[in-house]
Amino acid sequence: MLSYKAPITDIKFLFEDVFNYYEHYQQYPEFEEATPDLVDAIFQECAKFCENELLPLNQSGDKEGCTFDNGNVTTPKGFKEAYQQYVDGGWQSLSHPIEHGGQGLPASLGMVKSEMMGTANWSWAMYPGLSHGAMNTVQVHGTEEQKKIYLTKLTEGTWTGTMCLTEPQCGTDLGQVKTKAEPNDDGTYNVSGTKIFISAGEHDLTENIIHIVLARLPNAPKGTRGISLFIVPKMAVDEQGNVGGSNNVTCGSIEDKMGIKANSTAVLNFDNAKGVLLGEENKGLECMFTFMNTARVGTALQGVCAAELAYQNSLIYAKERLSMRSLTGTKKPDLVADPIIVHPDVRKMLMTQKAITEGGRAMIYYTAKIVDDIEMIKDEKQRRRADNRLGFITPILKAFLTEMGSESANHGLQIFGGHGFIKEWGMEQIVRDTRISTLYEGTTGIQALDLLGRKILLNRGKYLKHFTMEILGFCKDKSMLSSNPHKRQMNKFIWPLSKAVANWQKNTLRLSLKAKKNRDVVGSASVDYLMYSGYITMAYFWAQMAQAAYEKLATDVENRDFYRAKIKTAEFYFERMLPRTKSLAVTMMADPKTLMQLDEELLSFL
């Protein structure tokens, strides 16, 4: 019973009015085909595919799940046919290089495609979605021969790809990886070990699956400095790219999971599976981060997808469900009760969902422009600067947006009341499917340590300074310059945002001083600090959207209610959600002794 309509109006608002995407595309000759007409056609056709083909498989796929039988995995009914339509429609090749069979369109367009598909059916979208990270890693670190063999098939969708990192004894701490790679005389390697939690690791959609595997060479240094990266196909591949017999990669089982049941999460056994080195020896972790940034932005997108799907269905239900009368007087006297949308608490949950969804989408699309730049900029210094911008904002996106997506999903279940707990409505599935997003590709805690420990303290706040100066520059432009006719209207956003950014800078300095005295401060403060940073970051994008909406309303634009709604939602965010930073500012400054003063025995309830 889930409904979904692709939010094309909102997507085009961000593309055209907030982020000036077409001006961005004109910077690069490679993107000359990304004209407004072509982009609009892509949006429309992608929406049709998602609404008509993927959405109907969402709940049925969850109910059926994947089937495991003696090493083989069968995906739910309709998944294979939908995947073939996806490939035939050219969707897999959309934003990949022309030299490997791609269409050469911007990565940012691929992000929009991924959002629509992920909202309509996240489990299905993970199958082609996992390929993109593997492809990016081969594109950046592979040899020309490797690109020719693997990227062509991955681009056309004949093969899919995965990333095999986690092992039974280690997840985040990859220094414990035990999988081995023994060199052969022909330059290949025999890879042996077990990998777990491999999303889309085994399925029946394609003839081959290309695994990017972390493993250790003989006599490699201990810890993360001794990890290398290998391309290991499920089925043997010759030098011409032809598929042969088994490559000794077998699926031992698939996990029985809380959510994303229609996507196979596999245990893979590599038994002298033949692979080739990707990148340099013992530099696998560095190469892997090419994949990880891509994967983490993609996971952040899951938070937006969940928020969108939960909001759309909550809004429909709240308009139709009748319960009690409005506290300010009957609104629907011809009905037995008023729709629950008239009640302030329900309205608060709906507005929270809307603010999360649209604010999160803006954060993702801002980042997608940076991804475009990293792929296209030729000057190494400028490219490194863009890469640092991406590296700074990625943990905020990944952790904050997935936590907020989970909040939106739970609000949806609450709006539905008891019906939300019943499977036929689909709301409890959104909650289950979304919960994993805060865990895989690095938990919220790991992202928080990356942000505060590595991106802030280790770099002495350099990347934070660049980002906050960008925000303050926007605030100055919109509040000080006489050229902004909406200066007075924007003050209700600009001044709270400026103050929040100033406090962000001040509190970061305070935390850094505390951390010098006690390193536990980093661990105790990090999650609160990340969420604090996330709320301020989202406020920046809500301010930009409000400015763009005021500018549109100053013209004779149609659909004026859309732009009024943007401003009202921005007001809600600044009045009801940005103040959450105040409590987070207190808790992240709290002494870690309250966390650490109980020893293990006293923590026990026995």
Nearest CA among 492, 517, 345 for reference residue 415? 345
Amino acid identity, position 595: L
Q: 104-141 burial string, b = 16+ CB within 10 Å, else e?
A: bbbbbbbbbbbbbbbbbbbbbbbbbbbbbbbbbbbbeb
Q: Which of 34-48, 110-124, 214-228, 479-493 has the lowest mean pLDDT?
A: 479-493
Residue 33 appears among annotated catalytic residues: no
Which pLDDT band holds residue 208 (cuts at 50, 70, 90)? very high
Residue 485 is predicted with a pLDDT of: 82
How far from each other are the two terminal CA atoms of the chain, in whole angstroms? 46
Say if residues 201 and 265 touch (Cβ distance below 8 Å). Answer: yes
The CA distance from 357 to 408, in Å, is: 8
pLDDT at 486: 84
Residues with Cβ within 8 Å of 95's Cβ and at least 6 positions away in sequence, in order, are 102, 103, 104, 105, 106, 107, 108, 109, 110, 113
Which residues lie below 8 Å from residue 364, measured CB to CB, with a gap of 6+? 111, 115, 297, 300, 301, 304, 397, 401
110 contacts: CB under 8 Å, gap ≥ 6: 94, 95, 132
Predicted confidence (pLDDT) per residue in 309-334, tens digit? 999 999 999 999 999 999 999 999 99
pLDDT at 374: 93
What pLDDT band is residue 293 in, cutting at 50, 70 and 90?
confident
Residue 174 confidence class, pLDDT cut points 50, 70, 90: confident
Average pLDDT over residues 585-600: 91
Return the amino acid letter for 189.
Y
pLDDT range class, residue 278, cuts 50, 70, 90? very high
Q: Is the pLDDT of residue 591 over 80?
A: yes
The pLDDT score that the predictor gives to residue 74 is 98
The pLDDT assigned to 290 comes to 66
The string of pLDDT tens digits covering residues 506-525 is 999 999 999 999 999 999 99
Percent of the chain with pLDDT strictly greater than 90 = 91
> CA-CA distance, 20 to 18, in Å (whole number)?
6
Under the banding of pLDDT at 50, 70 and 90, the label for residue 600 is confident
pLDDT tier at 596 (50, 70, 90 boundaries)? confident
Separation of alpha carbons 440 and 259, rounded Å: 13
Average pLDDT for residues 448-457, to the nearest whole number?
96
Per-residue 3-state assignment (H helix, E strand, C coil) for 288-331: HHHHHHHHHHHHHHHHHHHHHHHHHHHHHHHHHCECCCCCCCCC
Report the alpha-carbon distance of residue 569 to residue 362 in Å, rounded.
Answer: 13
Q: What is the pLDDT of residue 289?
A: 75
Mean pLDDT of 193-198: 98
Least Cα distance to 296 among 110, 140, 447 occurs for 447
Average pLDDT over residues 456-461: 93
pLDDT bucket at 198, cuts 50 / 70 / 90:
very high
Read off the pTM: 0.97
pLDDT tops 80 at residue 604: no
Phi, psi of 558 (to 5 degrees): -80, 175
**533 close to 392: Cβ distance less than 8 angstroms:** no
Decide if 438 contacts 399 (C-beta within 8 A). yes
Percent of the chain topping pLDDT 70: 99
Per the prediction, the chain carries an average pLDDT of 95
Q: Identify the burial level of 523 via C-beta atoms within 10 angstroms of its C-beta, where 0-12 means exposed, 13-18 middle and 19 or more buried.
A: middle
Radius of gyration of the chain (CA): 25
pLDDT surpasses 60 at 207: yes
Residue 66 has pLDDT above 90, yes or no: yes
Question: CA torsion, points 237, 242, 244, 247, in degrees to nearest 10?
Answer: 10
Question: CB count, 10 Å around CB of 358?
Answer: 27
Distance separating alpha carbons of residues 349 and 354, to the nearest angstrom: 9
CB 179 within 8 A of CB 169: no
Tokens 């022909």 belong to: 186
pLDDT exceeds 70 at position 479: no
Give 145: exposed, middle or buried? Use CB within 10 Å, 0-12, 13-18, 19+. Answer: exposed
pLDDT of residue 242: 94
pLDDT bracket for residue 480 (50, 70, 90): low
Euclidean distance between CA atoms 327 and 81, whole angstroms: 51
pLDDT in tens, 176-190: 999 999 999 999 999
User: Quick one: 574 exposed, middle or buried, by C-beta within 10 A (0-12, 13-18, 19+)?
Assistant: buried
Cα–Cα dist 115/361, whole Å: 9
**Catalytic-labelled residue, pool 167, 441, 558, 601:** 441
Average pLDDT for 400-425: 98
Q: Residue 482 pLDDT more than 60? A: no
The answer as to CATH 3.40.309.10 being correct for domain 287-446 is no
With tokens 């429309």, the residue in question is 44
- Summarised one tens digit per residue, pLDDT across range 85-132 is 999 999 999 999 999 999 999 999 999 999 999 999 999 999 999 999
